Structure 1
Amino acid sequence: MKYLIIWLLFFVAACSGSNNNTVLDGVYTASFEHEFAKTDDTLILKKANDGNGVYQIIRHSGVIKKLDGKIFPKEILTDTWTLDYNTDKQILTELKGGKTFIWDSNRLTLQFGETTYKKISGL
C-alpha cells in the first residue's frame, strides 16, 4: 500500500509538471499579401538557454514587392530576436524592442499583431 501511494504521488507530479515550454520550440509559418508586396514568413523558435524562459526567434522573410503592376525579384530578409516567455499569460516579449507574440497552446499558433503563425513542426 505504501508503494502504491508513493507511485501515485510520482505519477501526479509527472502529469502536473508543465511541459508547455517545450511545445513552444518549433517552426512557424505565415503568408500575407497587400497591394505593395507578398510576404512568406518563417519563424524558428528555440530556447536560448537551459530553461529560464528565454527564447530566440530567427525570422526568415521572402518579400516580393509590387509597384504600378510591376513585380520585383524576391528579397530574403533575416531577423533575430531574443524573447522572454511569461508562462502565466502565454506571451513572448522581445527584450530589445518590445515586440509581443501571443502563444495559443490549443491551436499551436503565435499571434504577432494581426499575423497568425501556424506551427508546422517541432525542433
Structure 2
Amino acid sequence: MFLLNSLLIRKTVFINEKNELMIETQSGKVFPLIKLSSGEKQLIIIFGQAVLQGENPHIYIADEPELSLHIDWQEKLVKNLKSINPNSQIIFATHSPDIVSDYSDKLFNIEKSFKDGRI
C-alpha cells in the first residue's frame, strides 16, 4: 500500500476492521474505494494485480493504460510495475510518450513496421 499512498494526493489507502480497503483524506474523511476517480481506481486495479502475482514471471498486456491516469502516474507506471514484480514482461499499446519515455530501447513501433514491410 505504500506505493499507492505515495501516488495518491492527500489520500491514504488503509484496511479497516472489516478487512475492507478504504480511503482517508487529509481532513479525516473516510470513504470506500468506489468514491475514487477512475484513474485512482485504475491504479489500484493494476498494482493490485501485480501484487497478487508476487515475483512469479508474469505478462501484463494493456491497451492504452494511460487513459484516466494523471501524467505523473503515466510516467511512473512501468517503473512501479517493475518494482512490484521485477520478473514481469510489460506489453502496452499506447499513444502516451510519457509511459515509455524511459524505455525507448525496448519499443516496437507497429505502424512503422507495417510501413517497412516487417509485419
TM-score by length of 2: 0.24
The structure with more helix, counted as a fraction of residues: 2
The structure with more strand, counted as a fraction of residues: 1
Larger Cα-atom Rg: 1
